[in-house]
Amino acid sequence: MKLRRGRWLGHVLRMNTARHPYTALRWIPPGKRRRGRRRDPWGWRIEADILEMGKTWSEMRNMGQDRESWSRLIGALCSINEEDKYAT
């Protein structure tokens, strides 16, 4: 999932800032949720991934503009050990 979120984030960061996916990335829904539901927008999961990488939003925006560096970053973040790849 982290790999897919990373690829999608790179795609969205290269978009024009007026596009809906770009604005939805940082949007927090107003109001309250029903009892028992967490108020956990999807963007918060992205922010947690960014913090895990030790980066800031501005660094990620700059890196997202260059497809090759973004691909290397996401590939390194989500690399799978060969031993874990075939474990059942």
User: Is residue 60 in a domain?
Assistant: yes
Helix (H, G, I), strand (E, B) or coil at 8: helix
Tell me what pLDDT residue 88 has: 47
User: Is residue 11 in a domain?
Assistant: yes
User: Is residue 36 in a domain?
Assistant: no
The count of structural domains within the chain is 1
Of 36-40, 41-45, 64-68, give the range with the top mean pLDDT.
64-68
Tell me what pLDDT residue 80 has: 58
* pLDDT over 70 (residue 17): yes
Burial label, 48 (beta-carbon count in 10 A; 0-12, 13-18, 19+): exposed
Alpha carbon 37 to its chain's center: 22
At which residue do the structure tokens 């829904």 appear?
29
Mean pLDDT to the nearest integer, 44-62 = 84
Residue 76: domain span: 2-26+41-81
Of 7-16, 41-50, 71-80, give the range with the top mean pLDDT.
7-16
Name the nearest CA neighbour of 56 among 7, 13, 8: 13
- The pTM is what? 0.67
